[in-house]
Structure 1
Amino acid sequence: MRPVDLVDILIVAWVIYRLLILLRGTRGVILLRGFVFLLVAAALSGWLRLRTVNWLLERSLTALLVALPVVFYPEIRRALERLGRGDLFAWNGQGLGRSPGNGEDGGTSPGAGAGTGASTGAGTGRAAALGRSLHGLYRWLWGHSPPEADRERLIDVVVRAAGELSRRGFGALIAIEQEVGLGEHLETGVRLEARLSVELLVNLFTPGTPLHDGAVIIRNGRVAAAACFLPLARPERLERKMGSRHRAALGLAEESDALVIVVSEETRRISGARDGLIYWDLGEEGLRHWLNEALGVPLPEKESPAREMGAGR
């Protein structure tokens, strides 16, 4: 192999790596999984000489390639914007397996590598980032379920915070990211990457504070961003009793698999949205059971019924 061939391979690999990072945390990841699945299935059907199946899959891939500019429009726009700013291919030390700025979850402090071991620290940091990226590639593409203990803590904190916000009469909108990334919505708010706690959530939604308007997005058990804008539900789905928070919650539940919790400022009632449905007036215990079921945490023996409003199914 000529040296120029090696350089060619490295450049292509680097471009693919940066594009994967661009897709991280967006709905494009889910679409990419489907595309990879179709590619593998087409290759297998060709190898096994399943002619009809192979013909169908090849036609599906052709149609998908034509639709790619439409399907990946938000990601393509972001890529062009970053290319214009000159930071699309800049090294930022962020791998595929984690979000930036996680701090106590293994992030490097701002002053790391300063002083005598600056060059060594920088090299170690890049090697660690590359290791995290390779380790997280499978999880990034195919998803993962956090440990049950982490899910239990998440549920407990969100339920207690919703109860406290309800008692104080503070409106709130909390979105818990799942398989479908909410990266484009994170960009509309203020990035925090803070440890999840009852006190933080209550403080964020306290009227008069800078970030009380908009939604809080929870990613990987951390408060990723606050004051985020969410898409509103389709007009035909709206009811008179729906406030702006409920409309935003239903809108996000229509286009993703996120779990959205709403605390009404007017009625102090706690509701939830999931899979295009709104579950009205859950209360604290109802919210706990609803989250337990949605996140796959074993339910208590006695369940609280949840009243739901259908999504036109």
Structure 2
Amino acid sequence: MFPGEDFQFLNILGAVVDIALVAYVIYKLITVIRGTRAVQLVKGITVILIVWFLSSFFGLRTLQWIMSQAVTYGLLAIIIIFQPELRRALEQLGRGRFFGRSSTPEEENTMKTIEAIMKSIKYMAKRRIGALISIEKETGMNDYVETGIPMHAAVTSELLINTFIPNTPLHDGAVIMRGNEIVAAACYLPLSENPFISKELGTRHRAALGISEVTDSITIIVSEETGSISVTKNGDLHRDLDEERLRAMLERELLEEVKSTSGLWQWGGSKNG
């Protein structure tokens, strides 16, 4: 290969890298402004640029001058009006998230659900409000959903807390969740018949163990007597969890599953292969 060919190859490679980087930055900017007021701004800028190009192409000097002024002074207006969105982008850049993997809508919804669960559990544990929350996974729980009161509501911490307030119609029984939805409340779960369960455990813990023995659900218990937090999964009881351990378990059981499912769909597969 001749020196001139090497130089030409490097120029082509540099151009490809340059285009790829610019395309990636534009893509990340789109993910940052998605769902914000800035989306409408981008549409407006696109219209102005198109009009500016057409006015220049057809020699419409007055219209071209107006569009030039709009672009010149519009940049300053953008900085002032959309300061929150710009700050958000700069914060993500400073935290290193700007060039990281973007969260899918499913992952964002799951994180919101986890935050709602964490907030409600923290509130109830502090005040010793008994709670039983079972989260459906692969094994269907319709048989147990039918024993309760249908809700089909979005998961919020306020709704979960209000459901388990003592002496209310829905507080006695379990809440069953499916994805990011509260399917039913006041549900009856099967009690475990394991003879090795500690005698100090009450009905909530036995019900949580029972449902974990017949399904792959993850069930959270808040003790009414002590305010302690426990989780059951696959017939195992994890007792006296702190907030960090509970969050880690929820993210591992719920968020990682969503991430793996999203990855399969991105590659054209499905959850069941």
Question: Which TM-score applies when normalising by structure 2?
Answer: 0.54
CA 1:223 to 1:296, structure 2 compared with 1: closer, same or farther past 3 Å? closer
Give the distance between the partners of 2:105 and 2:163, measured in 1 at CA.
Answer: 25
Q: For residues 165-180 of structure 1, what are the structure 2 equivalents within 5 Å?
A: 165-180=124-139
Cross-structure match for 2:229: 270
In structure 2, the partner of 1:193 is 152
Number of the residue aligned with 1:234: 193
Amino acid across the alignment from 2:251 = N
* Contact 2:111-2:255 within 8 A present in 1 as well: no
Residues 247 and 146 of structure 1, relative CA distance in 2, 3 Å threshold: farther
Q: Which amino acid aligns with 1:199?
A: E
Q: 1:140 aligns to what?
A: none
Secondary structure in 2 aligned to 1:290? helix
Equivalent residue for 1:156?
Answer: 115
Larger Rg: 2
Deviation of 1:174 after TM superposition, in Å, equals 0.1
CA contact (8 A) 1:165 1:171 kept: yes
Q: Is the 8 A contact 1:160 1:284 kept in 2?
A: no
- Give the C-alpha shift of residue 169 in structure 1: 1.2
User: Cα deviation per residue 1:44-101 (whole Å; 9 max; x = unaligned)?
Assistant: xxxxxxxxxxxxxxxxxxxxxxxxxxxxxxxxxxxxxxxxxxxxxxxxxxxxxxxxxx
The equivalent residue for 2:207 is 248
Contact kept, 8 Å, 1:271 with 1:283, in 2: the verdict is no
Q: Determine the structure 2 residue equivalent to 1:285.
A: 244
CA–CA distance in structure 1, aligned partners of residues 195 and 256 of structure 2 = 34
Work out the CA distance in 2 between the residues paired with 1:183 and 1:258. 12
Secondary structure of the residue aligned to 1:235 is coil
Superposed CA deviations along residues 206-240 of structure 1, whole A, max 9, x for unmatched, are 00111000000011211110000000112324211
Partner of 2:77: none
Q: 1:230 is matched by which residue type in structure 2? A: L
Runs of 4+ in 1 over 4 A off after TM superposition: none
Cα deviations by residue, 1:141-183 (Å, 9 ceiling, x for unpaired): xxxx992222211211111111101111100000001110100
* Counterpart code for 2:164: F
Q: For 1:261, which of 220, 225, 232 is the aligned residue?
A: 220
Q: Could you tell me which residue of structure 1 aligns to residue 93 of structure 2?
A: none
What is the 5 A alignment of 1:46-195?
147-195=106-154
> Can you give the 5+ residue segments of structure 1 that lack an aligned partner in the other structure?
1-144, 299-313
The size of the alignment, in residue pairs, is 154
Deviation at 1:249, TM superposition (A): 0.3
**Structure 1 position 297, deviation (Å):** 3.5
Work out the percentage of aligned pairs sharing the same amino acid.
Answer: 43
Distance between the aligned counterparts of 2:218 and 2:113, measured in 1? 12
Residue pair 1:151, 1:297 contacting (<8 A) in 2 also: no
Q: How much does 1:285 deviate?
A: 1.7
Supply the AA of the counterpart residue of 1:282.
L
Cα distance between partner residues in 1 of 2:155 and 2:116: 7
Task: Tell me, in whole angstroms, the C-alpha distance in 2 between the residues paired with 1:261 and 1:284.
Answer: 12
Report the aligned-residue RMSD: 1.7
Shift of 1:296: 4.1
Structure 1 match to 2:170: 211
Q: Is the 8 A contact 1:189 1:228 kept in 2?
A: yes
**Distance of 1:156 and 1:187 partners within structure 2:** 27
TM-score by length of 1: 0.47
Distance, in Å, in 1 between the alignment partners of 2:171 and 2:124 is: 12
1 CA distance for matches of 2:178 and 2:253?
Answer: 15
CA distance in 2, matches of 1:237, 1:274: 17
1:152–1:240: structure 2 CA closer, same or farther, 3 Å change rule? Answer: same
